[in-house]
Amino acid sequence: MSERRTGQTARYREGAGYDHDHFPYSALPQRQPLKWPDGARVAFCVYLYLEYLELDPPAGTVRDPRYGGALGSHFPDYLNYSHREYGNRIGVFRVLDALDRHGIRATVAANAMLCERYPSLIEECTRRGFEIAAHGISATQMITSRMSEEEERSVIERSLGAVAALTGERPQGWFGQDFSESERTPRLLAEAGLSYVADWPNDDQPYAMNYGRPLISMPNQAEWDDTQLMAIRRVSPPRWRDVIVDAFDYLHEEASPSGSVFTLGIHPWLAGQAHRIRYLDEALARIVERDRVWQTTAGEVADWYRANR
């Protein structure tokens, strides 16, 4: 046994599977075919991230350093703060126009500070029939194992409460900030009554975790998320469009006899820029023209999967 920096003892499982007990190992060829409603080959979900990035976050909080301006490097970091805020002032409306043009309902991952500061953005989304999921506190406050269990519970409850205050309904889905979790996060999400979590980009189909009713892990295919490709890997916008279409086409053709999920993560501060929005629109146009596609929300997929497996 080895000790981690948090003082926790690492636990290792023996035999088939992983060094954790969150879910069982399942290889695609060993599964029963997954049949979507009306014979659809692919369930298509857009994940729209609405996030507030604090200029002066609380001491000790953790931010993903891959997106520029690691905490403590300089202050105030107006450049990265303003870049993110461009999405909430300008980019989000371009993205919403593109989604409207193609009749797409999105799943919105909204953090608590975004809900508290810009409730009108959530109203724009609920008016369109979008699903609103919880997404932590802010873009500078990732969940980590350095938190106590009580601190993590507080983050989850604040996030859920902020969404519920605007929509009148407690959200059913959870998106960790930048896929962040501690060792106990899935258990705490299940105890909080969440229906699904979208923090595990390890599958093209939903699967049940070892918690709750059960808690469903929804696909979240980070490989063609806009930030992963254009912000981190510096892929050009036209190439990003082509990657999206290539991935969708492959899953659409592969999905026989079993259906797949295709997810597309969109951050308005990035995809909503004037030189990129065209390529998002073109990718969406290519996808919606295909037949046998179930365009839906993450919550609807999780509910269908739970009821039919």
- Domain membership flag for residue 16: no
**Residue 139 in tokens:** 């873009």
Residue 256's pLDDT band (cuts 50, 70, 90): low
Please tell me the least confidently modeled range out of 79-83, 104-108, 111-115, 185-189: 79-83
**Which pLDDT does position 49 carry in this prediction?**
98
Is residue 260 within 8 Å of residue 267, measured between CB atoms? no
Percentage, residues of the chain above pLDDT 70: 88
**Which pLDDT does position 65 carry in this prediction?**
67
pLDDT of residue 258 exceeding 60, the answer is yes
Backbone angles phi and psi of 90, in degrees to 5: -125, -55
More confident residue, 261 or 22: 261
**Which pLDDT does position 6 carry in this prediction?**
46
**Which pLDDT does position 64 carry in this prediction?**
66
Residues 6+ apart with CB under 8 A from 8: 145, 183
What is d(CA 49, CA 156) in angstroms, rounded to the nearest whole number? 17
pLDDT of residue 157 exceeding 50, the answer is yes
Please tell me the least confidently modeled range out of 89-98, 226-235, 288-297: 226-235
Please tell me the least confidently modeled range out of 62-66, 84-88, 224-228, 274-278: 62-66
**Which pLDDT does position 218 carry in this prediction?**
97
Per-residue pLDDT, averaged over 175-187, amounts to 85
- Domain membership flag for residue 3: no
Query: Could you report the per-residue pLDDT of 48-58, keeping only the tens digit for each?
Result: 999 999 877 76
Structural domain total, the chain? 1
Q: In DSSP terms, which residues pair with 44 in a beta bridge?
A: 262, 295
- Domain membership flag for residue 249: yes
Per-residue pLDDT, averaged over 38-53, amounts to 96
- Domain membership flag for residue 61: yes
- Domain membership flag for residue 155: yes
Q: Which helix (H) or strand (E) holds 108?
A: strand 106-110
- What is the CATH classification number for the domain harbouring 138? 3.20.20.370
**Which pLDDT does position 178 carry in this prediction?**
81
Is residue 237 within 8 Å of residue 215, measured between CB atoms? no
Is residue 50 within 8 Å of residue 109, measured between CB atoms? yes
Please say whether the dihedral angle defined by the alpha carbons of residues 101, 42, 125 and 62, taken in this order, is positive or negative. Answer: negative
Per-residue pLDDT, averaged over 132-152, amounts to 88
Residue 266's pLDDT band (cuts 50, 70, 90): very high
- Domain membership flag for residue 224: yes
Residue 180's pLDDT band (cuts 50, 70, 90): confident
The residue segments making up the domain with residue 252 are 35-308
- Domain membership flag for residue 60: yes
Question: Full-prediction pTM beyond 0.85?
Answer: yes
Is residue 171 within 8 Å of residue 157, measured between CB atoms? no
**Which pLDDT does position 3 carry in this prediction?**
35
pLDDT of residue 2 exceeding 70, the answer is no
- Domain membership flag for residue 106: yes
Per-residue pLDDT, averaged over 253-275, amounts to 91
Angle, CA of 268, 271 and 277, to the nearest 5°: 115
pLDDT of residue 16 exceeding 70, the answer is no
Dmax of the chain from CA atoms?
Answer: 55
Percentage, residues of the chain above pLDDT 90: 66
**Which pLDDT does position 97 carry in this prediction?**
98
